[in-house]
Amino acid sequence: MLQWKLTIHVVNPDQEEKMSLATALSLTRHFANGAYRNLSELVRTSAIYLGIAVLVSAVMVLGMPVLRNQVAQMHRSVIDTLAPEDAQIDDNFAQLQEGPQVSSVRLDSIPGSGLLPAPAGGKPSSAEKPPASPAARLQPRISADQAQINVTETTAAQNGVRDLTNTQVEALVNYISRKYLVSQDAALLFVDIAHSTGGEYKVDPLLLLAVMAIESRFNPYAGGPRGGATGLMQIMSSVHRDKVNRFGRGESGFYNPAINGKIGAYILAECINRRGTVALGLVCYVGASDPSKDGGYAEKVQAERHRMALAASIPARD
């Protein structure tokens, strides 16, 4: 005869509670581990795609001049917004979206014969037809009102400034625009300033452009403490305030690229005349007593001068 044996297990309530707690902890750990793995994978994937996006954006900005100029202009707009109010100067240069705002000025309207005495041998006959300036050749990139900021073209032509072809001017403008992240209109303005003042003071325009590049990277708003090196060619405002006062602009004149370029060209020409050579003139310009104390300044300027000449296929001068 079969007998059934019934066994009844009585579970302690405390043990049941512990089992439930252990199960809950196990499920929580499992869920946390799964969430951590999924989150880690998401972060890793996002980082990969973000890196690809940054790389593609960088290639596009570097490879497309339009995007590169837009980024540069945004950067300059932020700088202009944060600039001190006392350096905000008038209007025209801001239209080029470069550096400080300056009003148009014709430097040939200043009374007198100029900052630097006329070179020996006198001036050529006024009957000579002056060559067109770089700005005139590349019109309508600069409007007639903006072109007024250019220093006098007649004086430049009379002093034998070299005549560049359209191709050379465009190549030089493109080189400056790409390397120093300035708009082509602004680069053309700097070329025209160097063209005019270089002719007036018998200084190679490429040398003036190279000094602008090394001194301020073509930022007419560059400057340190008040009274220090200021503007496009980093003129010592505390030393040369008398020169800028001749233009009736006071301290703000140092931020005008045309005025700053004219004064800088005068100082450099005076240094070259005094020291006898371009190399020693550059040492003088930077304020060093001899080449061993200029920190390699003259070599940097000359190297950049030759790079510009090579980029624009312009025969280099000694």
**How far is the C-alpha of 149 from the C-alpha of 104, rounded, in Å?**
4
What per-residue confidence (pLDDT) applies to 104?
36
Is position 121 within any domain?
yes
Strand partners, 40: none
**How far is the C-alpha of 192 from the C-alpha of 39, rounded, in Å?**
58
Is position 19 within any domain?
no
What per-residue confidence (pLDDT) applies to 239?
84
Q: Which domain holds residue 167?
A: 87-311
User: Quick one: which H or E segment has residue 294?
Assistant: none
What per-residue confidence (pLDDT) applies to 25?
80
Is position 8 within any domain?
no
- Domain with residue 116: its CATH number is 1.10.530.10
What per-residue confidence (pLDDT) applies to 121?
41
State the total domains in the chain. 1
Residues 266 and 116: beta-carbon distance below 8 Å: yes
What per-residue confidence (pLDDT) applies to 86?
42
What per-residue confidence (pLDDT) applies to 241?
83
Q: What is the pTM of this model?
A: 0.53
Is position 274 within any domain?
yes
What per-residue confidence (pLDDT) applies to 207?
95
Work out the angle at residue 229's Cα, subtended by the Cα atoms of residues 224 and 234, and round it to the nearest 5 degrees: 120
Q: Which residues of the chain have pLDDT under 70?
A: 1-18, 65-163, 224-227, 248-249, 318
Is position 10 within any domain?
no
Long-range contacts: 109-117, Cβ < 8 Å, 24+? Answer: 110/246, 110/247, 112/246, 114/155, 114/200, 115/243, 115/246, 115/262, 115/263, 115/266, 116/200, 116/201, 116/266, 116/269, 116/270
User: For residue 228, what is the DSSP state?
Assistant: S
Q: DSSP E strands: which ranges in 81-226?
A: none
**How far is the C-alpha of 249 from the C-alpha of 252, rounded, in Å?**
6
What per-residue confidence (pLDDT) applies to 79?
61
What per-residue confidence (pLDDT) applies to 28?
84
Is position 17 within any domain?
no
Q: Whose CA is closest to 285, among 240, 227, 316?
A: 240
Is position 167 within any domain?
yes
Is position 152 within any domain?
yes
Residues 206 and 195: beta-carbon distance below 8 Å: no
